[in-house]
Amino acid sequence: MDRRAFLIGAGAVLLAGCARAEPGPASPSPTPSPSVAPLTIAVESSTTGAILGAVLVGALAKLGSAATVQPSPVDWLAGLGAGTLVAAPVWATTVWAGLSDAEELPEDVLAELAGLVEPTVSLMTPGLVDGGLVWMVAASTGIKSMEDLSAYSQGKGAAVPAMAIERSDGVAALNAIYRTNFGTLSQEDPGVRAQWLLGGQAGIGAFRRTDNLGVTGLVELIDPDQMCQADPLALLVNAAFVEQRPDQALAMNAVIQALTNTELIALQQQVAQGGQLTEIARAWLQPRGLG
């Protein structure tokens, strides 16, 4: 079996972000022996990234491997290819858009992304987590569909993270497809964006489906033209590491595949309530036999 078939088939055995920037990543791993450097995992600088890093480190610790987590550097993909980074959980559609020159979303984003990062980096089979964008308004507006936004948008701003300005389901696309006229209010913290909607500082906001908003009173708008796209959580791994340590690559990917949107939001809520990342990760991993 060739390596790519192994990755996609065995994954029945996966950085650009859009989440609240909060605590730094934790590393719940044993102290490495002096002769073995710990593995390094790159994550987005957000609560979501910190959680993903903690559960991946915990999965490796179960196999006796020490690992550390760091915020994704600008050259994170080069680091993965060179082996200075061993793995990175990413939003597949977001990363594809950053690497590809194509304007149209391909039918199979995962296959296209795999082709862009091979041969030095491998894309593992994704699970169920979808970080695609959704557009929301305050429930008090009475608006339920994007096709009802045209008149409402006049003189109002759209609260969005930077990555949701020009992408094909971002504010520029919203204005073009639904004939709206929203201005752009850039804000990386989804909690702040949510508060802006409730407080009237913004008329509409873009969020990942995995964002912990921390509020009620918002309505996800119906998207009749299907502008918004799925953005699967996927794991990119150094290809040489996959060849040499398939057990560890699969252990990390088992974590990605076990997560759901609901669980990822619940883990963020635990962090927001003051929980320790190491303990939160352990409590999630152990009942599932993953850590």
Rounded CA separation 261/167 (Å): 22
Q: What is the pLDDT of residue 76?
A: 96
Tokens 């990390």 map to which residue?
252
Give domain limits for the chain.
3-130+231-288, 133-220
Structure tokens at 20: 């609240």
Question: What pLDDT, on the 0 to 100 scale, is given for residue 21?
Answer: 36
Contact criterion met (CB below 8 Å) for 39 and 60: yes
Listed as ranges, residues in the chain with pLDDT below 70 are: 1-36
Bridge partners of 121? 238
The CA distance from 10 to 13, in Å, is 4
pLDDT at 166: 87
133-220: CATH superfamily: Osmoprotection protein (prox); domain 2 (3.40.190.120)
Q: Model confidence over 56-80: pLDDT tens digits?
A: 999 999 999 999 999 999 999 999 9
Predicted TM-score of the model (pTM): 0.85
Could you give the CA distance from residue 191 to residue 208 in angstroms, rounded to a whole number? 12
pLDDT of 36: 53
| Cβ atoms of residues 146 and 174 within 8 Å | yes
Measured between alpha carbons, how far is 76 from 31 in angstroms, rounded to an integer?
25
Instruction: Tell me which architecture the domain covering 3-130+231-288 has in CATH.
Output: 3-Layer(aba) Sandwich (3.40)
Domains 3-130+231-288 and 133-220 are alike in CATH topology: yes
Closest Cα to residue 250, out of 290, 281, 286? 290
